[in-house]
Amino acid sequence: METFYLVGTMALVTFLIRYLLLPLSGRIELSGGLQRALRYVPPAVLTAIVVPFALIPDGRELQFSLSNPYLVGAGLTLAIGWLSRHLLLTIVGGMVCFWGWRAVLTLGWI
Amino acid sequence: MATNRPSRRRSFYEGMRDTLPLIIGAIPFGIIFGTLAGGAGLSPAGTMGMSLFVFAGSAQFVALGMLANGAAWPLIALTTLVVNFRHLLYTATLLPYLQRLPRKWQIALAFGLTDETFAVAVRRWQAPGTRADDHWYQLGSMLFMYVNWNLCTIVGLVAGRLLADIAAWGLDFAMLAAFIGMLIPYLKDRPNYCAMLAAGASAIVFHGLPHKLGLLAASLIGVAAGMLAERCSSTTAENPRLEG
């Protein structure tokens, strides 16, 4: 029963967040300024997810060092993305860089 | 909305095609979710229920972490609200496009408005020129993500015992790489760079806030920084904005 409430409330909350503005949209009008601001939603939200993921991979402390493969991997992934502008290449290349760097660290070459 | 079937189908497939790279990033994440759920005390039915009805990766992972720590369901539901609150911004961003659609389309597309589908669909909606089939494009993207997410959850559940140490493999980096990939279109001008820098720095500063509130705070600060930079650059130079 606990599980039922858990999944049910999570589903309801998530759906309402994603949906609720739509039926209201006829009655509210987004100002031009707000519409311009919303263009920065994707880069802002994605960066706010990515940066702690790379810098605080254990969720506890900041690891600003070359021995953090998430940070090195993220940096190289970003470089590939910036240079190539190609999504698939960025994801696959980034994963190869991450595992490569992890192997380098594991083997103790650094 | 008078469109013909071939063009709908084409939009649908294009939505799937453009989402494919992000699927690669989501596969390990879905498998890891299915693998870890049992250890956190969630039954197989509850695990599938989450992927089928909640369909929100980051909130599902946060819920597992809280379950493992013995949190009660109302607190987990509240945290889900905070973690997923960014999706309200997504709906607001797509509002001018989605509000034209019939109610059943709005319900379907809202249900599947994940980070990935938003990142793919917003580019399509905002591209110059209007196409009447863009909602089919978004539907293709979300259904592809949905089927994949649930299949991966099943794989994780079934293989959970065989892959007991899968969390240590570093497969979670695939998700990080996918999210960095989604940032590529925004690496283009000063306001976007300012939004990203401010959001990234704030996300570190506010990381200690409970229930992932830092994510929300950092997102809003990033949006504000982007606006501010846009205002500054438009007063110094009157050149037209590039839309990439």
Instruction: Determine, for residues A14 and B215 on separate chains, whether the beta-carbon distance falls below 8 Å.
Output: no
Residue found under tokens 């994940």: B114
pLDDT at residue A42 tops 90: no
Q: Which two tokens stand for residue A87?
A: 């999504």
pLDDT at residue B179 tops 90: no
Q: What end-to-end distance do the CA atoms of chain A give, in Å?
A: 52
Residue B235: what pLDDT? Answer: 65
Interface residue of B62, B180, B205, B219 to substitute, partner A, most A CBs within 10 Å: B180
Nearest-angstrom CA–CA distance, B14 and B32: 28
Q: Closest Cα of chain A to B95: distance in Å? A: 7
Q: What is the mean pLDDT of residues A38-56?
A: 91
**How do residues B69-79 score in pLDDT, each as one tens digit?**
788 899 899 88
Percent of chain B residues topping a pLDDT of 70 = 92
Residue found under tokens 């993305």: A81
Instruction: Determine, for residues A40 and B227 on separate chains, whether the beta-carbon distance falls below 8 Å.
Output: yes
Q: Which of A106, A76, A82 is nearest to A94 (CA)?
A: A76
Count of CB pairs separated by less than 8 Å, A with B: 262
To the nearest whole number, what is the mean pLDDT of chain B?
Answer: 88
Ramachandran assignment for B200, one of left (phi > 0), alpha (psi -120 to 50 degrees), beta (any other): alpha
Q: Model's pTM, two decimal places? A: 0.84
Q: Closest Cα of chain A to B167: distance in Å? A: 12
Q: Which of B120, B182, B84 is nearest to A43 (CA)?
A: B182
Q: Which two tokens stand for residue B227?
A: 């606006």
Q: Which of B134, B52, B146, B112 is nearest to A18 (CA)?
A: B112
Which H or E element spans position B161?
none
Q: What is the mean pLDDT of residues A2-27?
A: 92
Nearest-angstrom CA–CA distance, B227 and B239: 16
Backbone angles phi, psi at B79, to 5 degrees: -65, -35
Contacts of A30 (CB under 8 A, 6+ apart): A38, B92, B95, B96
Q: Which of B53, B52, B38 is nearest to B159 (CA)?
A: B38
pLDDT at residue A49 tops 50: yes
**How do residues B42-76 score in pLDDT, each as one tens digit?**
999 999 999 999 999 889 988 988 888 788 899 89
Backbone angles phi, psi at B71, to 5 degrees: -70, 145
Instruction: Determine, for residues B93 and A38 on separate chains, whether the beta-carbon distance falls below 8 Å.
Output: yes
Contacts 24+ apart (CB under 8 A), A33-39: A33/B227, A34/B92, A35/B96, A36/B227, A36/B230, A37/B223, A37/B224, A37/B226, A37/B227, A38/B89, A38/B92, A38/B93, A38/B223, A39/B93, A39/B226
Contact B6, B137 (CB under 8 A): no
Q: pLDDT category, A35, cuts 50, 70, 90? A: confident
Q: Which two tokens stand for residue B208?
A: 């200690």
Indicate whether this complex's ipTM tops 0.85. yes
Contact B114, B94 (CB under 8 A): no
